[in-house]
Chain A
């Protein structure tokens, strides 16, 4: 089975597409168009995007494309679910849902690929990954989780057909997640597995912002079907009870527990 690989520069990062089987080329074209549509509609870095105009008060929500309300609703739900740790209001003024747009767009990208008839799809939006189907011969997708501060080295590997993994960390862009207006420290990285990438994206961001206070939220999320892998500030790896990784189970929490 041939695999079509395409990389697209968008959202100040690179989106990697791995598409398997008939329909791969159609899927690539559909996804490339989609990610640029998302950029044009939901980028806060583009002053003329409907989201940016709404945030400045120049456009009513009803006049925006439906995607704007959809991501704002998701962002508000994530804020409530994380006790405010995922904070769309971090910049002041009207809410900024940017923290989950990438994951949300990748969710839709995978749906569009499947609609084109592919047998396997991986969408990697700058480190947040969603898969469906198989990369070939019916085997599962295998995704590595990169160790913070150790580029190219893996913390763990997760295998399956339908995977959603979002990682927030302080190493690549620096401390870019803010809590109460200050860069978050206290956790080196948080990976969340979820039924969809939008929430995985939001919850991993929230847990990183909480830093040392993250375990309570992550335990709560685990019980809800959102398992996680946390790298604490002291370098200890802590897997939640339901973490599906092949190399770190919840036993590792015993090691790091005070």
Chain B
């Protein structure tokens, strides 16, 4: 899978809300503030940079489903400018589902890539083998990495809350 060039925009061609969003997110990330919407940053850091972008896009696509009675939303991405930070140059790619931000990834951060290699490429397959066979175990709640209010809707906890 390759990125459709037609989906790619540079930040200079963005509508104002998108440009603003990219800037706010880039600044938040670069300033070391909590990147609350940086779902994908480091999500599968073991892959090459290109593979990371693809998996990030895949993750974005899963959050960009057609809803009944609505037009199919368009998954696009925009790249922010390369910003010099105290931790080195960083460029942020933000995925939009229509006008909604569904994922984000830092594209350029040499130290980040170096650190990423600490994570074994086989980590997730290995983990998958170890997770409970009995996934149907009756549970009342789930402890996991903090979810945003947007991510909650897709979470196992939300399913339990509705049950």
A binds B: yes
For A151, the chain B residues whose CB sits under 8 A away are 154-156
Nearest A residue to B34 via CB reads: A176
A34 to chain B, nearest CB (A): 18
Interface centre among B43, B45, B132, B160 (most CB of A within 10 A): B132
- Measured in the bound complex, the distance between the Cα atoms of B136 and A144 in whole Å is 11
Asked if residues B43 and A122 are in contact (CB atoms below 8 Å), the reply is no
Instruction: Tell me whether A157 and B139 are in contact in the complex, defined as CB-CB below 8 angstroms, given that A175-B42, A233-B118 are known contacts.
Output: yes
Q: Number of contact residues on A: which range applies? A: 35 or more
Q: Number of contact residues on B: which range applies? A: 35 or more
B106 to chain A, nearest CB (A): 9
Asked if residues A154 and B42 are in contact (CB atoms below 8 Å), the reply is no
Instruction: Tell me whether A150 and B145 are in contact in the complex, defined as CB-CB below 8 angstroms, given that A185-B45, A185-B118, A234-B122 are known contacts.
Output: no
Tell me whether B151 is interfacial, beta carbon within 8 Å.
Answer: yes
Of A10-18, A25-33, A60-68, A71-79, the one contacting chain B is: A10-18
Q: List B residues 116-150 near A (Cβ within 8 Å).
A: 116, 118-120, 122-128, 130-132, 135, 137-149
A100 to chain B, nearest CB (A): 12
- Measured in the bound complex, the distance between the Cα atoms of B152 and A151 in whole Å is 11
Encoded as 1 (CB less than 8 Å from any A CB) or 0, chain B from 45 to 89 comes to 100000000000000000000000000000000000000001100
Asked if residues B43 and A171 are in contact (CB atoms below 8 Å), the reply is yes
Q: When the two chains form the complex, which single residue of A127, A135, A186 contacts B142, counting CB atoms closer than 8 Å?
A: A127
B88 to chain A, nearest CB (A): 10
Asked if residues A147 and B131 are in contact (CB atoms below 8 Å), the reply is yes
Q: When the two chains form the complex, which single residue of B118, B137, B138, B157 contacts A124, counting CB atoms closer than 8 Å?
A: B157
Asked if residues A122 and B141 are in contact (CB atoms below 8 Å), the reply is yes
Tell me whether B14 is interfacial, beta carbon within 8 Å.
Answer: no
- Measured in the bound complex, the distance between the Cα atoms of B133 and A157 in whole Å is 12
Asked if residues B130 and A146 are in contact (CB atoms below 8 Å), the reply is no
Asked if residues A16 and B141 are in contact (CB atoms below 8 Å), the reply is yes
Tell me whether B115 is interfacial, beta carbon within 8 Å.
Answer: yes
For B147, the chain A residues whose CB sits under 8 A away are 13-14, 126-127, 172-173
Asked if residues B143 and A166 are in contact (CB atoms below 8 Å), the reply is yes
Asked if residues A212 and B118 are in contact (CB atoms below 8 Å), the reply is yes
- Measured in the bound complex, the distance between the Cα atoms of B143 and A167 in whole Å is 6
A150 to chain B, nearest CB (A): 6
For B112, the chain A residues whose CB sits under 8 A away are 183
Listed in ascending order, the chain B residues whose CB lies under 8 Å from chain A are 32-45, 86-87, 104, 111-112, 115-116, 118-120, 122-128, 130-132, 135, 137-149, 151-152, 154-158, 160-162
